[in-house]
A and B are shown apart, each in its own frame.
Chain A
Amino acid sequence: MYGIVDTIISWLLFIFGVSIPFYLILGAIGISGFREITSYEKYDSFYYNVNASVKILLSLVIVMIAAFSIWWIGAIITFAFLASYITLKNGLRKVYLAGLLVLSTIIGTVWGYAPYEPLSIVSMALNTPVSHFTTIWTWPPYFSILGYEHTLTLQSLYYSFQISFRFSAAIVASLLLVMTNTPAQIIKTLSRFKIPDPIIFSLVVAMKTVPAVFESFDTSIKISMMRGYGGNKPKFLRPFIILGAAIGSIVPTIVHLLRGAKDIGISADTRAFRAYPSRTYFMLTPFKREDYFFLGFIFAIVIMAAVAIMMGFGRAIPYLT
């Protein structure tokens, strides 16, 4: 028989999983924090001198290594690159903000996977029989409507925790690219990779628009709250009030940005964008000493990951037993 206390705890666990990532993203990082870790700021340190193409290569390599190797390799990569953010402009703050993002990714992924993951799959991934699993909570039967497994096991949490580092490693590497390279540098790199101009242009507009998106979104949310949205509710509910206001602010923000996007399109078209299949570049970005050094570092990571996989540390891929 499922008691009332168990029911309350189950719902509290459910709410924990949903609310903590939201709290971290909206309450702790905030919209302005997101803007800080997704925008380029001029500075002079190692990462800022590394070519965008090398950082794109780094992102691809990290995504692949995190996917193929055992979870702790992804974890080491995540935390090592996160720590290296200290060398960026306002480095300590960027470590803090990106750290919160990593934390919300880990909690979100664990809570997004663990309750849903069929035990048979977890058993195959961890190469452990289901009978050896440690049950830490039994959900009310009606939670199956949400797609939940009947029980939450320690192994499910452990498996989901492992998966989370595939995402966190990729996030940390990608943020590094957008924080230390201008859109123009990225255009040139992508163009060198023969990526079609319309796709490059879309990315550049997106990069240029990201800070504006956050700013407009922030203004819209604040105006809603200033106009009384959630004004009578206790302050500890603020992240949820912000979430509610944020949902309402999506449409006006998109409409506002689309009106701007039309002008950006006209601005490019009236300056002969796509006049020819390719463009010339006035500012060249030749490879420097830092690029070769960093390429060597990426190569070393690949070698170490390959060795680790060959030594049997490649079992992060489910079903590969």
Chain B
Amino acid sequence: MKAIEIKNLSFTYFGDEKPALTVDDFYVNEGESILLTGRSGSGKSTLVNCINGIIPNVISGNITGSVKLMGKEVRDMRLPDVAKIVGTLLQDPERQVMNYGIVDEIAFGPENLKMPREEIERRVKKAIETMGLEAFVDRETTKLSGGELQRVALASVIAMEPAIMILDEPTSNIDPEGTEKIFKFIQSNKEHMTQIIVEHKVERALPFVDRVVVIDNGKIILDVSKEHLMRDVEVLLNAGIEIPEEYIYAKRLNLETVDPDTVRERIREYGIHLSRRERNNGGERILTGKINIEVEGRQIVNTEINLKKGQVYCIMGKNGAGKTTLIKGLMDFLDRKRFKNNSELFIEGEDLSDKDYVIRGRKIAYLPQSFDLMLVNKTVESEIYYSAKHRRMPEFKKIGDELIEMFSLEEKRQTDPLMLSTGQRRRVCMAAALASSAHIMLMDEPTSGQDFMNKKILGEEIHNLCKKGFSFLIVTHDSRFAYRYGDYIGIMEKGKIIHEGEPDEIFRFSSQYGVIEPSDYVLRIDQKEVLS
């Protein structure tokens, strides 16, 4: 039986002239798992929202055609009835989880369905067991790590016992360990649950799906079984989708397998030398910090960190390792009444240990994960002028104009920054942060929720800025990004950087600390370096 059947579907958002999504014929069989991928704004979320009934029940627009779930037409069903069939796990668990207690959160759906208490109890117990939440079921949802919270969010969807499960970028905000647990669930429930996994990172989801569907410009441009994906690698690349490097080489060498180790051996046999980025770790030391942070008498960060001029230093590790606290401690962004910050910080020889974030802001720029919070001006131009203007730099226009050009924002100069796309907003924020004349930038998960093209642009921008003497301290879970654009990696655990070194050195053993090595690294193991 077909779990999902879509025919001649077209959806246009109110105010738009062109449809955001057009699907002639698409189906998903019962028990099938599909990967739905495409660049940001391609139409993935629109398709998902047409399936889970959010369109047209919550998001309005002009919809034509047919969407059937288990043979029933979605437009003839009330949203709560659709919810009995389709479960949806959203990208950001902090926005999905609404209750204070874990049990309250899991019971929310069955309670809405007016189930008897015994049945709710059975479902809650089962969901807790399935997601392995027993160890922390009494904790408050506000005190959980990102990975734990995402498992709670998934448990709350499982408790609805849906026949179809949509996982919308379920791992973009969590660490590899949390990701592993989510995918373990996907794997173990493959047979009795139809699954749609929306994901930018094909590499992560591919082992768990049967079929890959690519959307571009609101249309399905590829619908192929996983086994045949290799022959369509170019389609994915042209659609701006991040695909594992071994797929590209497997296709080029006409290999049957895409196993990275096998592909690496064949690459070696063919005498192909894969290039590696030259790591820039020879600059002078410009930031030295001994960060010691306590909360309620408990030490949560106690580590040293050094950053060199022109260096990209990536801080990696599990959720809850203290990465964001470290960055906020360096910036003096932690609440002084709650956190005790006994830190030493020297930047370019100047002692900033006792200085607050206002003074530190002259030397360090900070881009938080929720970078939109920076955008306090009405135009891109005024946003970028803001910092230099407030610091009374006479040449603030010159500085701002250079940054506008550097970040290709000339056409958007008079646009409200909050109206731009995610990638454009991130670029405005970076330009605005750098306009403060700071030459050190701290970034917290800058690739989270960004597609391949945006990540590539970001990496290249960072690389170009490093050539101009800027240095970056980046907190990231994205191993591939760290391998491609990082010069140095520090592995953080329990508030301390316990290992640091160049990416090739660190990825040899990083998996034991919850940092999975990217296939780019695996393909280059023991290869002679040849710079392209």
Contacts and interface: CB of A to CB of B under 8 A. Distances in A.
Contacts of B57: 269
14 contacts: A42-B140, A222-B333, A225-B357, A227-B436, A228-B386, A230-B390, A231-B362, A252-B373, A252-B375, A253-B373, A256-B372, A266-B54, A271-B156, A282-B124
A291 B302 CA distance: 46
Given A219-B370, A279-B111, A267 B95 contact: yes
B244 interface: no
Interface in B96-120: 96-101, 103-104, 107-117, 120
B100 A251 contact: no
Contacts, number: 195
Given A228-B436, A268-B98, A271-B160, A282 B111 contact: yes
Interface of B: 52-54, 57-58, 78-81, 83-84, 86-88, 90, 92, 94-101, 103-104, 107-117, 120-121, 124, 140, 142, 153, 156-157, 160, 331, 333, 335, 337-338, 357-358, 360-362, 366, 368, 370, 372-376, 386-392, 418, 432-433, 435-436
A263 B169 CA distance: 13
Interface stretch (A74-82, A127-135, A204-212, A302-310): A204-212
Nearest to A219: B373
Given A252-B418, A269-B58, A275-B114, A183 B99 contact: yes
Contacts of B418: 251-252, 255
Interface of A is mostly: helix
Contact of A283 (B96, B104, B362, B387): B104
Contact of B108 (A211, A232, A271): A271
A219 B331 CA distance: 11
Given A184-B100, A248-B376, A280-B120, A267 B83 contact: no
A274 B83 CA distance: 11
Interface of A: 30, 32-33, 39-40, 42, 182-184, 204-205, 208, 211-212, 216, 218-220, 222-232, 248-249, 251-253, 255-256, 259-260, 263-276, 278-283
B114 A226 contact: no
Contact of B112 (A184, A260, A274): A274
Contact of A40 (B100, B103, B160, B373): B100
Most buried by B among A204, A248, A252, A268: A252
Closest 4 CB pairs of A and B: A275-B80, A226-B361, A228-B390, A263-B95
A187 to B, nearest CB: 9
Given A273-B112, A282-B117, 20 more contacts: A42-B140, A182-B101, A183-B100, A184-B101, A208-B100, A228-B390, A231-B390, A232-B391, A251-B418, A266-B88, A267-B96, A267-B98, A269-B54, A269-B83, A271-B83, A271-B87, A271-B157, A272-B113, A275-B83, A283-B103
B54 A275 contact: no
B391 A265 contact: no
Contact of A225 (B84, B88, B108, B361): B361
Nearest to A263: B95
Contacts of A182: 99-101, 104
Given A225-B357, A252-B372, A232 B112 contact: no
A218 B336 CA distance: 13
- Of B90, B121, B361, most buried by chain A (CB within 10 Å of CB) is B361
Contacts of B52: 270
A244 B182 CA distance: 44
B368 A223 contact: yes
B87 A272 contact: no
A118 B356 CA distance: 47
Nearest to B337: A32
A62 B281 CA distance: 66
Contacts of B103: 282-283
A282 B80 contact: no
A33 B337 contact: yes
A198 to B, nearest CB: 13
Contacts of B99: 182-184, 208
A169 B1 CA distance: 63
B112 A272 contact: yes
Contacts of A273: 80, 108, 112
A219 B77 CA distance: 42
Contacts of A33: 337
Contacts of A219: 333, 368, 370, 373
Contacts of B108: 268, 271, 273
A183 B376 CA distance: 32
Given A266-B88, A269-B57, A275-B113, A32 B83 contact: no
A252 B376 contact: yes
A223 B374 contact: yes
Contacts of B124: 282
Contacts of A275: 78, 80-81, 83, 112-114
A30 B357 CA distance: 16
A33 B96 CA distance: 26
Contacts of A283: 101, 103-104, 107
B79 A269 contact: yes
Of A183, A222, A255, A256, the most chain B CB neighbours within 10 A belong to A222
